[in-house]
A and B are shown apart, each in its own frame.
Chain A
């Protein structure tokens, strides 16, 4: 185990972590505001991957050459359409169940996730899809020797930068704008916010749209980085992002980012130094252990049981 390998796993872990963080934000915001796990969130991410490939293919037929332009247009189109899916899912499966038992929205969320997964499978076929690689080349961070170096590819740089920018925009929206204030008010006390004139149903829709947009960004970045996906990718990635959200303290925005980073790093190190066959087992074990020993996470507030 030499220091170059450690450095390389560090880079890979940060990239993986920023993606988990982006998806985890969606779980954390929805959980914070209506106290339910949006099981279909992983599927929203998967849909974004498909929309990315579709947009890129359309742009190719239109003859868009600039990589930068293609990336921006793909981000816009993917966010727009994916957010629409997020909004629709909330409208169909969760809004009618606002005043129901706790079990009901959870089951309808699982149903929704099956629906989305199979809708995409039937629409696009079950085989593996791919996109051409947009950017070649990499940056050597440390070391000149061909055997020993730490490098970061341009795509990885774009991923971390885009993740940082979108997280920044999201935090600004939540902290500084009137909309964000309404979101925070609704999260703290829905009834009170409603009494003070906040349209909470609309705010909940906004939260779903914001969460889906973040998942859309993650979908674009992963697709551009790995270049291959199928209709199944939402499940495992979704669970891992949820793990990140729980690890950081579900309901807390900085927690989701921190959790994503920790999970990405530890998974990358586990795969690199222990066993890559068991890296999913490792992630799931972290999930179970965190939920058992520290269900409120690193930055979360402990849940108060109302009597």
Chain B
């Protein structure tokens, strides 16, 4: 034990010295105009924390008495295959329960929290879309926000120039985003890994810069207003605008209903919930179908996959355009819930955030993506002071996750055939 503590102390001292050099100038000396303002206590706090943390970690990892704790934090990167036919029953109950809670939410939440819930659902949608591309097909797409932007702007521009309504915009945006995905997919078919990531990143930035600079079409940084969504011609406004009727007048003929500003959000929330549920169902089915298996095979080993006769062109293109389509639909909902779009919503950070959702949820895991999206959107709202540190923590989480558990927190369930045990 003495040896362990001595070793830990030496190690902590080394790390502390490094920390002092790294944090000293950056956090201890604040730029103030052209001058400087010393704040050594900040640097010392940081270094102290680092020293203490390192000391604790080394002690825990090396002392035999705490080996149980240490095992929990050991690196794990093998895939854990869990095959349990019994598990399916629990799943169904869980799914029904989740859906019931989700349906009840709009009647329980305030307007503010309803907005947060809508945002969480949008991120679930985007996470599921990117999960197809990154998690299942293993194609790292850093420009996913481009498709999100295409979706949002096709609603805004479609309404402005073509007079599209919300319901017409959804298939329009889905098709447009999917074709963008396919167009981008074609040239990048030959690339893998890093080059693909960079090309998609470049593509995302090009889209954002064009939206920002083409002022005559898109309004540039000022953005565009989007029309409010309608349901069977009913508008979610207090007074009718152009020839439409507000919902409370239509429904008021049959029942007692008053105008409420939250109604629009309830409508978006419920529609979004239906879309997300359908998508989850679809992805779960796709994973069992040949196409889904081809995606996963491509992720694991492209060359082996091609030698087995899988048409990698179709497989990659389908993953790309499916993901893009989902991103486009997410964009329409985003535009509808905000009532306004501008290029500032579609920066690289947004792509990184969606990627963080996929990575933290576990590449390829649907449940993981949903949990991660909810946690990453609701948590910062719960801890208001924490929003400053949000991105820093995302970044740390991405690094830690890759180093510690590259396959994600949740175990991947692979569809498998299980031979029933029969009594002879």
- Interface residues in chain A, defined as those with a beta carbon under 8 Å from any beta carbon in chain B: 35-37, 47, 50-51, 53-55, 57-58, 60-61, 81, 84-85, 88, 92-93, 96-97, 100-108, 110-120, 122-125, 129-132, 235, 239, 242, 246, 277-278, 280-281, 284-285, 287-288, 291-292, 295, 305, 307
Contact = CB atoms under 8 A, between A and B. Distances in A.
B389 A57 contact: no
Contacts of A96: 75, 403
Contact of A57 (B36, B142, B193, B197): B36
Contact of A288 (B26, B202, B352, B399): B202
A265 B399 CA distance: 37
27 contacts: A36-B194, A51-B25, A53-B31, A84-B18, A84-B22, A100-B77, A103-B134, A103-B363, A104-B402, A105-B402, A107-B402, A110-B352, A111-B401, A114-B391, A114-B398, A118-B389, A118-B395, A120-B26, A125-B30, A129-B31, A235-B348, A281-B206, A281-B209, A287-B202, A288-B199, A291-B195, A292-B187
B350 interface: no
Contacts of B359: 107
Nearest to B77: A100
Interface string B375-410: 000000000000011011011111101110010000
Contact of A85 (B22, B194, B213, B396): B22
A299 B209 CA distance: 30
B201 A57 contact: no
Contact of B203 (A50, A105, A288): A288
Contact of A60 (B29, B34, B203): B34
Interface residues of B, number: 62
Contacts of B227: none
B250 interface: no
Nearest to A120: B26
B206 A114 contact: no
B191 interface: yes
Contacts of A112: 395, 399
Given A118-B391, A123-B26, A88 B402 contact: no
Contacts of B349: 114
B138 interface: yes
A53 B201 CA distance: 30
Contact of B193 (A106, A125, A129, A284): A106
A61 B402 contact: no
Contact of B35 (A57, A93, A107): A57
B34 A132 contact: yes
Contacts, number: 176
B392 A115 contact: yes
Chain B contact residues: helix, strand, loop or mixed: helix
A239 B190 CA distance: 21
Interface string B198-228: 1101110110011001000000000000000
Contacts of B363: 103
B389 to A, nearest CB: 7
A280 B348 CA distance: 14
B27 interface: yes
A307 B303 CA distance: 7
A88 B349 CA distance: 23
Contacts of A102: 192-194
B84 to A, nearest CB: 26
B203 A93 contact: no
Nearest to B187: A292
B159 interface: no
Nearest to A280: B209
B391 A108 contact: no
Interface in B342-382: 348-349, 352, 355-356, 359, 363
A37 B194 contact: yes
Given A84-B18, A88-B22, A130-B34, A108 B206 contact: no
Contacts of A61: 35-36
A111 B406 contact: no
A37 B198 CA distance: 9
Contacts of B42: 123
B126 interface: no
B120 interface: no
B177 interface: no
